[in-house]
Amino acid sequence: MSAIRTENLIKKFRRVAALNGLNLDVPEGAVYALVGPNGAGKTTAIKILMNIFGPTSGRAEVLGVESARIAGRAFRSIGYVSENQELPEWMRVGALLEYLRPFYPSWDRALVDELMSQFDLPRDRKLGNLSRGMRMKAALASALAYHPKLIVLDEPFTGLDPLVRDELIQGLLERAEESTILVSSHDLAEIESFASHVGYLEQGRLRFSEELAQLVERFREVQVTFDGPSRLPEKAPEGWMQLNNSAAVVRFIESRFEPQRTRAEIHGVFGEVRDVTFSPMTLREIFLAMAKTGRNAA
């Protein structure tokens, strides 16, 4: 069952295509990280999902409802927090939460108190007088307080100090069991710590989408050491990226790593070698390699 599904979603702003046939599938219960460089189309995709604006073509469903119909009561099950959302800055934090309470039948006052305490939020401070991090925490508290089925976060960690990031992530993870979370980010370090699924968006297209564990498992940095001078193969197997060599060493990134098969392919390409090492890669290293290669690794 999918919490979010898009089919061939296209969004054009005049002649510029921000989304170019996006097919996204976020399983229920997942913590889905939508990553990609700036301008990849992450915010556009999320705004379409939230019906902030409509697609040029294609369709999107959120919690079984067509995104164009998401309005009013539908937002009782959705918590949305964005880095560029304009909050009512004249309101005090406590007043904002009190104001929002009647909108949500499932509003949990005890949870609000818990979040206020956890995020160290001052009730009597105006939102406009809060730091960016505190504002994000207030927005997140107001989006978590009613146990939404789906939490959508658009670049929530941008510009925040590590301590606030950790607090936000901690707050999210505590809610992860009851909700599906879609979070967009171009900062991969924190995503890696809590995402269950990851999708890589580039130039309005999803390059791949899979469970994070599988992704990390199938990427390896490979170093092949020769007895003599190294040489690059004329034709590399599918999945090998960024091949380079220096002296007696050839390095590349394997995007379809399976120990036995990869070893067999290396022997097939290079023949006898002195040594082969496989190093696990961080999410950041994987995406850097992807971005540099610019090829479809899916």
Partner 1 sequence: MKQVLNIFKKDVRHYWREIVVSIALLAAFARYDVRSWANEGLVGYAYEAGSFFFDSRLLSGLVDVLLPISWAFVIVRVIQGESLVGDRQFWVTRPYEWKKLLAAKILFILVFINLPLLITDVFLLATAGFSPTHYVVGLLWMQAMIALGLLLIAALAAVTASVVQFGLALLVVVLYLIGMGFLSEQIPSSSFSSSIGDAVQTALLIATPLVVILLQYSRRKTAKSRLLIAGFAAVLLLILLATPYRTVVAHQYPRLEARQQPPVQLALLPPEKQNDGNVPANQKEVEVVIPFSVSGVAGDSIVTLSGAMVVIEAPGGLHWNSGWQSKGWSLFHEDKSIAIRFTLKKKLFERIQSQSVKAEISLALTVSRDQNRTEFVVPQGEFVLPDAGFCDVRGLSYEPDIECRSALRTPSSLLVTYDISQTSCPGVEGQARAKPGEISRSWHSHSDSGPAEFGISPIKTTRFGTVNNASNARAISGFCPGTPVILSNPELVRRTRIELELNDFHLGDYQDRSMRGSAWR
Closer by beta carbon to partner 1, 95 or else 291? 95
Minimum CB separation of residue 119 from partner 1 in Å reads 18
Tell me the closest approach of the beta carbon of residue 87 to partner 1, in angstroms.
5
Q: Determine, following the binding rule CB under 8 A, whether residue 73 of this chain makes contact with partner 1.
A: yes
Task: Specify the DSSP element, H or E, that contains 15.
Answer: none
Select from 63, 65, 87, 248 the one that contacts partner 1 (CB under 8 A): 87
Environment class of 146 (CB within 10 Å of its CB; exposed 0-12, middle 13-18, buried 19+): buried
The stretch near partner 1 (CB under 8 A) out of 21-29, 95-103, 231-239, 261-269 is 95-103
Q: Which residue from 8, 57, 85, 277 is in contact with partner 1, where contact means CB under 8 A?
A: 85
| Residue 71 beta carbon to partner 1: minimum distance, rounded to whole angstroms | 7
| Selected binder of partner 1 within 25, 61, 104, 245 (CB under 8 A) | 104
The yes or no reply on residue 280 touching partner 1 (CB under 8 A) is: no
Q: With beta carbons less than 8 A apart as the criterion, state whether 145 and 108 touch.
A: yes
| 99 is a contact residue toward partner 1 (CB under 8 A) | yes
Beta strands 275-280 and 197-202, pairing class:
unpaired
Q: Which of residues 30-49 bind partner 1 (CB under 8 A)?
A: 47
| Residue recorded with tokens 């939490």 | 151
Alpha-carbon dihedral sign for residues 236, 242, 246, 248? negative
Choice from 14, 16, 38, 84 touching partner 1 (CB under 8 A): 84
- Cα 8 to Cα 177: distance, rounded to the nearest angstrom: 30
Q: Under the criterion CB under 8 A, does residue 182 sit at the interface with partner 1?
A: no
162 binds partner 1 (CB under 8 A): no
Please measure the distance between the N-terminal and C-terminal CA atoms of the chain and give it in whole angstroms.
22
94 within 8 A of 127, measured Cβ to Cβ: no
The only residue of 82, 209, 230, 255 in contact with partner 1, by rule CB under 8 A: 82
74 scored as a contact of partner 1 (CB under 8 A):
yes
DSSP string spanning 125-181?
SBGGGS-HHHHHHHHHHHHHTT--SEEEEESTTTT--HHHHHHHHHHHHHHTTTSEE
Chain positions contacting partner 1, by CB under 8 A = 47, 50-53, 71-76, 78, 80, 82, 84-88, 90, 95, 99-100, 102-104
